[in-house]
């Protein structure tokens, strides 16, 4: 077993406290349960391995989110290469089941609208609205300037507004996007 620069008890506490949020972010970025599980596991393995690089004076969650986003990007990149060369289907069978299992009709419609955004826009929306990170921390977690983060958020919200205008059943959601 590999030795990590973090005490087992501290690692256990970190996983217990943050794993559901990390999984949620990974799921919103990838829209695939199995891949989100893999990303969550890999995120914590990387965090444990690099824990000696973590600055205790800063909050832990943005650091973990950055690892999550980078891990998700890497895994999605690998998956797209595999699909290109092996002809695997883009959507796993369980993706639609996960999508349908979401609670509430509004949640399903919003999930569908957000899933149509580009990965970069989904990342900003997910970290800012789902994870509740302020924009400066979102920018830091993504490794981008604050202005870029703001412009991605603005573009994502504009696309969501347009999507809501095209779909009459989403009019109630549009009010929340103003």
Give the model confidence (pLDDT) of 99-121 as tens digits.
444 445 556 677 778 888 998 99
Residue with tokens 């989904």: 122
Mean pLDDT of the chain: 80
pTM over 0.75: no
Residue 58 CB contacts under 8 Å (≥ 6 apart), including other chains: none
Give the model confidence (pLDDT) of 122-146 as tens digits.
Answer: 889 888 887 788 899 889 888 899 9
Structural domains of the chain sorted by starting position, each given as residue range(s) with its CATH number in brackets? 1-101 (1.10.1740.10), 104-178 (1.10.10.10)
Measured CA to CA in angstroms, residue 86 lies from 24, 39, 82, 83, 158 at distances of: 28, 22, 6, 5, 36
pLDDT at position 170? 57
Residue 148 burial (10 A CB sphere; 0-12, 13-18, 19+):
middle
Provide the pLDDT for residue 80. 56
Inform me whether the pLDDT recorded for 83 exceeds 90. no
Cα–Cα distance for residue pair 165/163, rounded to 1 Å = 5
Residue 16 is predicted with a pLDDT of: 96
């Amino acid at each position: 077993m590999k030795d990590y620069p973090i005490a087992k008890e501290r690692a256990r506490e970190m996983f217990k406290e943050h794993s559901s949020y990390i999984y949620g972010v990974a799921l919103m970025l990838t829209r695939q349960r199995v891949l989100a599980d893999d990303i969550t596991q890999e995120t914590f393995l990387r965090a444990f391995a690099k824990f000696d690089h973590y600055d205790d004076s800063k909050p832990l969650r943005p650091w973990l989110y950055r690892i999550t986003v980078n891990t998700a990007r890497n895994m999605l990149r690998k998956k797209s290469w595999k699909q290109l060369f092996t002809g695997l289907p883009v959507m796993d069978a369980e993706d639609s089941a996960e999508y349908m299992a979401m609670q509430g009709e509004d949640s399903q419609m919003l999930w569908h609208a957000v899933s149509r955004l580009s990965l970069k826009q989904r990342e900003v929306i997910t970290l800012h609205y789902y994870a509740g990170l302020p924009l400066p921390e979102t920018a830091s977690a993504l490794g981008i300037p604050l202005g870029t983060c703001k412009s991605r958020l603005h573009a994502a919200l504009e696309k969501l507004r347009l999507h809501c205008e095209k779909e009459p059943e989403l009019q109630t959601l549009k009010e929340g996007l103003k």
